[in-house]
Amino acid sequence: MQRLFSTFANGWPGRGLLLLRLLAAAVLFHSAIAHLGEAVPLTSTVLRMIGAGAGVLLLIGLWTPVAGSLVAILELSIAFSIAANPLLHIIVATLSAALAMIGPGAWSVDARLFGRKRIEPHDR
């Protein structure tokens, strides 16, 4: 992951990326939950459940480039094949693709696992 992102944004930009991840995950969760009780094709339900799983990864900021790319592909396939009103799906696809390109920010599991480590000297 460190090769994908030179740094993990901190401060206000990091908080902004956290908000974007929260928004994308909330929309994906809502989409999955809203379609559980409806009589929709199985393909639609499966795509939305996979999207909700990728939403969990986006929410915690784990494997963000992979999860963002997956969500972008899923949402575009829903928008152009299933959805009657594709605008929301196109917006979420764009948001997820942007997160995949920009990165998760400092407040993420990716930053903890793959961010630069500061080595502190030990007292003698």
| Mean pLDDT lowest among 28-32, 42-46, 119-123 | 119-123
52-89 burial string, b = 16+ CB within 10 Å, else e? bebbebbbbbbbbbebbbbbbbbbbebbeebbeebeeb
**Mean pLDDT calculated for residue range 6-35:** 91
* pLDDT tens figures, 50-100: 999 999 999 999 999 999 999 999 999 999 988 778 999 999 999 999 999
Query: Residue 38's pLDDT band (boundaries 50, 70, 90)?
Result: confident
Query: Residue 121's pLDDT band (boundaries 50, 70, 90)?
Result: confident
